[in-house]
Amino acid sequence: MIHPRTLRVDYGRVTSVLCVVGSELNVNLHRSAPPSSRFFSVKCTPNVQYSISPPPQVASPLTPIPLSRNSLLLISMNQASQVTNDSKLSVWYYGRNNEVLEKALLHLTAVEISLDVDADRDGTVERNNPNKGSWKWGPNGNGAVLLVNCDSDRRSSKKKPDSERDSTPHVSDLKDMSMMVLRTRGPAKLPEGYKLTMHISQGDAESVRVFRSKSPGAQSNTLQGTLFNIFVKEYPLVLSSKVLSQEVPYIGGEAEMNYYVEGLRFPDKDFDGLVTINLSLLEPICDGLPETPIFTDKVVFRVAPWIMTPNTLRPVEVFVCSTSDNYQFLKGMKDLVAKSGYKLKICHEYVNRGDRWMQDELEFGYIDSPHQRFPVVLDSPRDGQLDNFPYGELLGPDFGYVTRIAQRKDVSSLDSFGNLEVSPPVTVNGKKYPLGRIIIGVAFPTATKGRNMTKVVQDFLWAQKVQEPIALFSDWLLVGHVDEFMTFVPAPDRKGFRLLLASPDAAYKLFRGLQNNGHGQAKLFEGLRDEEQIALDELLSDENLEAENNYVQSCIDWNRDVLKKELGLDDDDIIDLPILFKLLEEEDVKEYRAVAYYPDMVNMIVLGKNLGIPKPFGPRVNGRCALEAEMCSLMEGLGLNCTFIDDFASYHKKLGEVHCGSNVRREPFDLKWWNLEM
């Protein structure tokens, strides 16, 4: 691993050498021999090992060895020195008749140096892991993990992610950083002129900062050990984008110095997530000339990706907005969340300023490392009236924040995060996606124009790698979000979930069946004050509506095929929900786009086995809403319980439903992302 270093040895004088344990010195004997030498011999003190190449064919070690053009002496030391110059090696040169011509003497000092990280990912910084300088995915992989320090542990007048602060970290911040330990052993001081430096490339320095403890950390090779440093309270900056190289202290004897590496940015289009930090031992040449490195140790980190949580993970908290007109909805949500046993967080009107679309402004995710993990909210460039909620209300101690800044003109409704979902874990043709796959909606691939999710957000999502995204076609919808036609619910069998898809065909089939059974006069929208009721007979005779729904079904079917292929699903993994759409002409673009005809039941909130579903106000048959009955019977088989929430006036009429109006923070996956086989 470490290349031998070539050493010059002059006869007739003493050369002093600093040698790093584990490395080799290489002396070309012929080159440094006096002109008429024919033989040589080597002697040394016990801590020095040497070998001669080519191996000499002589009887005793004391017998002079013939000197040839390629005689090499390889020197190494396997133990650190207690004091400077405590080891010696001499080379004797002999003439034709074995008479001594000259002698070269080496004074050797050995030091042990190891820059260490948690390369085996067990939460502890082990000693000199042979794989610390590379990064490999998988359960048998190696390489340390770094978090973006995007939460806000430090209290100050102005809230900010810690990674954006200029001040040196507070002790509460250290747990969000990755520990790096510089372990050294050797004499009290390095020989005159030698020094240790830590360095990083300009590119990598954009992504990390390195701090160090002001005093050595005794036995603190674990995070708990950092408690030791509470009394120090000072963590000088070592490396940053402005300081690419800095001398670091060498502490004599056996010492450990703790360093803290802070991630500053997530993987993205221009950053694969890997960061290298080097430590070198520099040797002085002479005044005015730069020192040369005689030993370099290298460690590699990967910045943890931002990970989304599918509906199959356990909920922790549910978020909704309170507005002047959504009392009915809020009550339904409160009851459902209480019954399900989770926490409900209400965002009040002075914060939401009338923006009720809690799903659209943000997406909950998390970041994970062997030493720390916390939730991170991805803030959408949508920037509605709820704009300040992710930063102002969610960012905090152990709650991170990330966003991508887009040009205002590039932002469309497709940038709302109702258009950003994630599947449960799947296996596709043998390829495993144990953290699922991200799903977004874009313009139809062949479209020359159309709305898209903005490129900066798409680039960010793709760069996280561990939940490889799938792009669906959602631009056919007026609002344009994938959650308007699909969701996932947990299931006890098969792949552990079902994909639910909105289906006009299923709706027509259900309604025609009811008509055939004599319920043609049953009315939709019964019990709603401001909505005109419509009888099934009338609805089913509307040919325009049917044509529109055929178009919608073909859009959904296109997505269905993509999802089947990209998630490895069979038809039995998919359930079609009876939902109708209608087309509205969008005035500014003179194009027709779809909205739900009655509350869009697929736009539900999934809380374990409890589903909060938009109350569809379908035709009543034998005293029960036929759409609710159908929905319940489809979900019952999966052990799921349907609760219908009246969102008609306050959400449906504003072109959204229960899912659009809520958000769920969920438990992270048990599976560690670094164990993925990539």
Ligand X SMILES: *[C@@H]1O[C@H](CO)[C@@H](O)[C@H](O)[C@H]1NC(C)=O
Q: Known catalytic residues?
A: 360, 481, 483, 660
Identify the residue among 85, 124, 241, 328 touching ligand X (CB under 6 A). Answer: 85
Q: What's the DSSP call for residue 192? A: T
* 454 in contact with ligand X (CB under 6 A): no
Identify the residue among 47, 84, 128, 131 touching ligand X (CB under 6 A). Answer: 84
Residue 520 vs residues 390, 503, 510: alpha-carbon distances, Å: 48, 21, 12
Half-sphere exposure of 477 toward its Cβ, with a 13 Å CA cutoff?
Answer: 31
Residue 510 vs residues 503, 523, 540, 579: alpha-carbon distances, Å: 11, 14, 11, 10
Q: Which of residues 79 and 201 has its CB atom nearest to ligand X in the complex?
A: 201
Q: What's the DSSP call for residue 571? A: G
* 298 in contact with ligand X (CB under 6 A): yes
Q: Which of residues 229 and 474 has its CB atom nearest to ligand X in the complex?
A: 474
CA distance 40 to 89: 13
Identify the residue among 641, 649, 654, 671 touching ligand X (CB under 6 A). Answer: 641
Q: Which of residues 8 and 339 has its CB atom nearest to ligand X in the complex?
A: 339
* 296 in contact with ligand X (CB under 6 A): yes
Q: Which of residues 392 and 637 has its CB atom nearest to ligand X in the complex?
A: 637
* 420 in contact with ligand X (CB under 6 A): no
Identify the residue among 278, 309, 419, 549 touching ligand X (CB under 6 A). Answer: 278
To the nearest whole angstrom, how small is the minimum distance from the Cβ of residue 284 to ligand X? 12
Residue 99 vs residues 38, 63, 566: alpha-carbon distances, Å: 10, 12, 82
Identify the residue among 3, 339, 432, 653 touching ligand X (CB under 6 A). Answer: 339
* 134 in contact with ligand X (CB under 6 A): no
To the nearest whole angstrom, how small is the minimum distance from the Cβ of residue 244 to ligand X? 7
Residue 138 vs residues 608, 672, 674: alpha-carbon distances, Å: 30, 9, 6
Stretch that binds ligand X, among 42-50, 371-379, 395-403, 441-449 (CB under 6 A): 441-449
Short-list 77, 87, 92, 75, CA closest to 32 = 92
Classified as helix, coil or strand, 620 is strand
* 5 in contact with ligand X (CB under 6 A): no
* 142 in contact with ligand X (CB under 6 A): no
* 443 in contact with ligand X (CB under 6 A): yes
DSSP code per residue over 397-466: TTBEEEE----GGG--GGGSGGGEEEPPPEEETTEEETT--EEEEES-TT-SS-----HHHHHHHHHT-T
To the nearest whole angstrom, how small is the minimum distance from the Cβ of residue 447 to ligand X? 6
Short-list 256, 255, 238, CA closest to 247 = 238
* 16 in contact with ligand X (CB under 6 A): yes
To the nearest whole angstrom, how small is the minimum distance from the Cβ of residue 170 to ligand X? 28
To the nearest whole angstrom, how small is the minimum distance from the Cβ of residue 506 to ligand X? 22
* Contact string (CB under 6 A) for ligand X, positions 208-237, x = contact: ------------------------------
* 450 in contact with ligand X (CB under 6 A): yes
Asked if 149 contacts 80 with a C-beta cutoff of 8 angstroms, the reply is no
* 635 in contact with ligand X (CB under 6 A): no
CA distance 370 to 676: 14
Identify the residue among 5, 199, 371, 652 touching ligand X (CB under 6 A). Answer: 199
Residues in contact with ligand X, counted by CB under 6 A, come to a total of: 23
Asked if 341 contacts 652 with a C-beta cutoff of 8 angstroms, the reply is no
Which residues does 151 contact at the CB level (< 8 Å), separation at least 6?
161, 162, 176, 374, 376, 395, 396, 397, 398, 399, 400, 401
- Residue type for 208, please? V
Q: Which of residues 257 and 471 has its CB atom nearest to ligand X in the complex?
A: 471
Measure CA 592 to chain center. Answer: 39
Asked if 19 contacts 26 with a C-beta cutoff of 8 angstroms, the reply is no
* 412 in contact with ligand X (CB under 6 A): no
* 582 in contact with ligand X (CB under 6 A): no
Identify the residue among 2, 14, 232, 589 touching ligand X (CB under 6 A). Answer: 14
* Contact string (CB under 6 A) for ligand X, positions 94-133, x = contact: -------------x--------------------------
Say how many C-beta atoms besides its own lie within 10 A of residue 383's C-beta: 16
Instruction: Report the interface residues with ligand X, using CB under 6 A.
Output: 14, 16, 84-85, 107, 199-201, 276, 278, 296, 298, 339, 442-443, 447, 450, 452, 458, 471, 609, 639, 641
